[in-house]
Amino acid sequence: MAVTYEPIATSTITGSTVASVTFSSIPSTYTDLVVVIQAKGTFAQDGIDVTFIFNGDNSGGNYSVVYMNGNGTTTNSGRNSAGIGYFSFVPAGNNTAGVYSANVHHIMNYANTTTYKTTLGKISFPGNQAGANVGLWRSTAAIGSIQLQISNGSQGYYETGSTLTIYGIKAA
Amino acid sequence: MANTYTAIATVTVGSGGAASIDFSSIPATYTDLQLLISTREESTATAELFLKFNNTTSNLSTRWLRGNGASVSSGTTTNIQLLTSSNIGGANIFSNVSFYIPNYAGSNNKSAFSDVVVENNVTSSPDVFQNLAAHLWSNTAAINQITLFLASGDIAQYSTATLYGIKNS
């Protein structure tokens, strides 16, 4: 039987100064990608974004996201069209030690060269919020690399023990 | 290449229903676990489906976001609450649940995400919703057992649950 769901690459943070993880040379032979982020940041605040940067496109203006979340008391929905790929949200330095996110992001049809790329994110930030979002990268290029950066790259690092993994899913 | 996404075990509830669905002796050889569940409870109560790890209900918490077609709400519980369909909305309707646990055998506290949906084509009912939730088991032990159970009553016949192991290498 053909293997449908395959790990492409994984990164487990062992040091204390890693602010960004890049998965490059992503083969175009899959249909969809799944990015699993079990992570925590070191920056002294309550939660921090993980920025998605596709194919090194960090020029701004090509990303937007619509999100909804609940913090256990209130609900919230909004849109960020500032051009940054703030697609994920994880615990940070002011959150409970030893508690990491359980976020899963699906990127359907990532290798096509006709459409913009859409992500579907599920956010599990224990003790803070549960939510979902839809992200958009306005480029028709096939995704060949994904950089997962803590915030804007200057707000701390990934906590040791954080794990980021990309899987490929084949439709046939 | 080795198979990454492997079915570890599946349970289908037989005639008469079952008080619980249990997955025990879960091997520590995978990276993540995913549990896909289709359940129903044969009563007219809004059924609360719960999950526990390693046969304990201690140190569990949930933070949820829920929409029912009329309003949206958010809350917290001190357990892992998944919800399920019941007889309020009619016969033969089962919930769908996806429950994902990354790094289930690691040495950190265990975070998880669940996505629960029930639709019954009834315009006004407490038994229709989409629920997203962040769960936490504040325990550094490896997960080797997962149990599903209701607040009351039995899980209905034809309910199913399948546990998959996912390897990242």
Return per-residue pLDDT of chain A as tens, 172 residues: 566 889 999 999 998 789 999 999 999 999 999 999 999 999 999 999 999 999 999 877 899 999 999 999 999 999 988 788 999 999 999 999 999 999 999 999 999 999 999 999 999 999 999 999 999 999 999 999 999 999 887 889 999 999 999 999 988 7
Question: How far is the first Cα of chain B from the last one, in angstroms, to the nearest whole number?
Answer: 10
Across the interface, of A38, A75, A130, the residue whose CB is closest to B134 is A130
Distance between A86 CA and the closest CA of chain B, angstroms: 19
Quote the pLDDT of residue A83.
Answer: 80
CA dihedral (B29, B113, A91, A66) positive or negative? positive
Quote the pLDDT of residue B46.
Answer: 63
Closest by Cα among B100, B90, B115 to B40: B90
Q: Which of B65, B78, B79, B81 to mutate to test the interface with A (most CBs of A within 10 A)?
A: B65
Overall average pLDDT of the B120-138 stretch: 82
Residue A11 bridge partners (DSSP): A164
Overall average pLDDT of the B3-32 stretch: 94
- Using CA coordinates, name the residue in chain B closest to A165: B168
Quote the pLDDT of residue A1.
Answer: 56
Closest by Cα among B97, B129, B142, B100 to B115: B97
Quote the pLDDT of residue B124.
Answer: 54
Query: Residue B22 pLDDT > 60, yes or no?
Result: yes
Q: Residue holding tokens 């790094």?
A: B103
Q: How many helices (H) and strands (E) does chain A have?
A: 0, 12
Residue B142 DSSP one-character state: P
B87: left (phi over 0), alpha (psi -120 to 50) or beta: alpha
Give DSSP secondary structure letters for A111-160.
T-SSS-EEEEEEEEETTTEEEEEEEEE---SPP--EEEEETTSSS--BPT
Alpha helices (runs of H) in chain A, residue ranges in sequence order: none
Overall average pLDDT of the B29-53 stretch: 88
Higher pLDDT, B41 or B78: B78
Query: Residue B119 pLDDT > 70, yes or no?
Result: yes
Distance between B164 CA and the closest CA of chain A, angstroms: 12
Contacts of B66 in chain A (CB under 8 A): 70
Quote the pLDDT of residue B125.
Answer: 61
Overall average pLDDT of the B19-29 stretch: 96
Residue B104 DSSP one-character state: T
Cα angle value A114/A34/A121 (rounded, 5°): 85
Rounded percentage of chain B residues whose pLDDT exceeds 70: 93
Q: Given an 8 Å threshold on Cβ–Cβ distance, is B5 in contact with A4?
A: yes
Quote the pLDDT of residue B2.
Answer: 60
Distance between B37 CA and the closest CA of chain A, angstroms: 18
Query: Residue B116 pLDDT > 80, yes or no?
Result: yes
What is the rounded CA–CA span in Å between residue B8 and residue B65?
30
Contacts of B140 in chain A (CB under 8 A): 98
Q: For chain B, give the mean pLDDT.
A: 90
Chains A–B, number of C-beta pairs less than 8 Å apart: 126
Higher pLDDT, B48 or A74: A74
Contacts of A165 in chain B (CB under 8 A): 31, 168
What is the rounded CA–CA span in Å between residue B126 and residue B113?
23
Cα Rg of chain A, angstroms: 15
For A36, the token pair is 């699993």
Q: Are A127 and B61 in contact (CB under 8 A)?
A: yes
Q: What ipTM was estimated for this complex?
A: 0.91
